């Protein structure tokens, strides 16, 4: 029997249009359920990230059940031998009902959400499935190594270097009977630790933080099958792993997040936390990643995130600035660089059928001031269909 169809599965859900729980907004599902609600108040029963972080590898790549929430997230751009382009989105998410506790009736209180999505950017077709399972029934994550499963979906590091980082990560996935893939990811740039050695603070409360580990550039190759054919694919991807117990502050109503993989071998990761009065929260950041993996962080008073190119959802009424313009002074040239975010598809909204939270997220091209495509990436926009502060 296919493990995806197991009666032990708590929730499985699919949609025919763009729908994704991403590495950052997936936590919103739990906000809407009292037993898993997040709060800006400290949760002393759970561990919280320490400043500065003292992460030990390879253990840091594994599961941390003593923290409340954790996710491993990959987005990628895949290409067939003829240049046909696909978007790839993979998320494995863990939530702890109680820290290091067992439920007397059901066993582990760890809950795992997983999501697979493939977008055919040639036809606009979108294939998606999500799963929610209790640990031990049909899902789990090792506390020793990067090794996760949810049904027959797996994400495993198979080789490590002397720094304790994976040199090969393999993912097996499927989306009902429509799509299947076997992909190998090889980091071509070392791990990046955002914040203070991996401690990334999101608000004035020091517990509003995460450990933030990223591989900003991975080479991808493998096989992808979907209606219309099977393809040998290659491409590149971005991977985040975050560990936290709560992240949001009371005054934050939503956030904008983007990652850019530029063709010159550098990357950008930026997020703008939006406050109730419309201002940018001072814990927002713009991060440059150079060719060697070095980070230069720019505070919100030194970069601009200009909302632009609104798309209004016919389903939720949310109006999303899906073509923002970002400006910041480059740490090497000293000149202000301008990045134009160009979505590959406009209609990429999650309506929130599971969690009641709607947001927009999609695959991008990045253009410079003269209209040249200089990279690819992903954009995430939350709090435009609902004020997230009312959900906390």
Task: Indicate which CATH number applies to the domain containing 357.
Answer: 2.40.370.10
Domain-embedded: residue 124: yes
Domain that holds residue 372: 3-40+62-391
- Tokens 């060697």 found at: 292
- pLDDT attached to residue 37: 38
Q: Does a structural domain hold residue 57?
A: no
Using alpha carbons, select from 99, 101, 156, 110 the residue that is nearest to residue 135.
110
In the prediction, which pLDDT does 282 show?
Answer: 92
What pLDDT does 350 receive? 63
User: Does 48 fall in a domain?
Assistant: no
pLDDT at 388: 67
Give the chain's count of helices (H) and strands (E): 1, 28
Spatial distance between the Cα atoms of 115 and 259, rounded to a whole number of angstroms = 19
Identify the three-state secondary structure at position 165.
coil
Q: In whole angstroms, how large is the CA radius of gyration of the chain? A: 20
Task: Quote the pTM value.
Answer: 0.85
Q: What is the pLDDT of residue 380?
A: 87
pLDDT in the model for residue 292: 95
Q: How far apart are CA 322 and CA 101, in angstroms?
A: 42
How far apart are alpha carbons 293 and 328 in whole angstroms? 19
| 84 domain residue, yes or no | yes
**169 within a domain of the structure (yes/no):** yes
| 195 occurs within a structural domain | yes
Q: Which tokens is 106 given?
A: 């059901």
In a domain, 56, yes or no: no
pLDDT at position 152, please? 94
Q: Is residue 210 part of a domain?
A: yes
All residue ranges of the chain with pLDDT < 50 are 1-44, 104-105, 355, 391-392
Total structural domains in the chain? 1
The whole-number pLDDT of residue 135 equals 86
């Amino acid at each position: 029997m296919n493990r995806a169809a197991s009666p032990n599965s708590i929730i499985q859900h699919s949609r025919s249009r763009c729908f994704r729980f991403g590495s950052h907004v997936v936590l919103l599902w739990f906000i809407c359920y009292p037993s898993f609600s997040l709060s800006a108040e400290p949760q002393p029963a759970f561990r919280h990230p320490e400043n500065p972080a003292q992460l030990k590898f390879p253990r840091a790549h594994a599961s941390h059940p003593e923290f409340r929430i954790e996710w491993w997230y990959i987005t990628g751009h895949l290409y067939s031998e003829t240049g046909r382009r696909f978007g790839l989105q993979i998320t494995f998410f863990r939530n702890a009902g109680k820290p290091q506790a067992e439920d007397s009736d059901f066993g582990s209180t760890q809950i795992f959400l997983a999501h697979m999505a493939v977008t055919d950017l040639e036809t606009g077709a979108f294939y998606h499935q999500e799963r929610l399972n209790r640990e031990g029934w049909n899902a789990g994550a090792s506390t020793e190594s990067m090794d996760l499963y949810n049904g027959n979906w797996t994400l495993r590091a198979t080789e490590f270097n002397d720094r304790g980082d994976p040199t090969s990560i393999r993912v097996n996935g499927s989306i009902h009977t429509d799509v299947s893939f076997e992909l190998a990811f090889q980091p071509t740039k070392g791990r990046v630790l955002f914040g203070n050695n991996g401690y990334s603070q999101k608000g004035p409360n020091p517990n509003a933080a995460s450990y933030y580990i990223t591989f900003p550039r991975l080479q991808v190759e493998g096989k992808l099958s979907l209606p219309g054919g099977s393809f040998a694919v290659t491409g590149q991807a971005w991977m985040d792993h975050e560990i936290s117990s709560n992240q949001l502050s009371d005054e934050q109503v939503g956030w904008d997040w983007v990652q850019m993989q530029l063709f010159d071998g550098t990357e950008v990761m930026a997020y703008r936390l939006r406050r109730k009065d419309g201002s940018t929260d001072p814990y927002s950041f713009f991060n440059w990643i150079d060719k060697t993996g070095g980070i230069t962080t720019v505070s919100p008073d030194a970069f601009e995130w200009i909302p632009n190119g609104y798309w209004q959802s016919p389903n939720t009424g949310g109006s999303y600035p899906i073509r923002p313009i970002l400006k910041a002074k480059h740490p090497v040239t000293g000149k202000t660089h301008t990045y134009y975010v160009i979505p590959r598809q406009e209609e990429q909204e999650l309506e929130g059928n599971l969690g009641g939270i709607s947001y927009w997220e999609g695959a991008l091209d990045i253009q410079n001031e003269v209209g040249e495509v200089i990279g690819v990436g992903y954009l995430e926009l939350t709090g435009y269909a609902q004020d997230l502060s009312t959900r906390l």
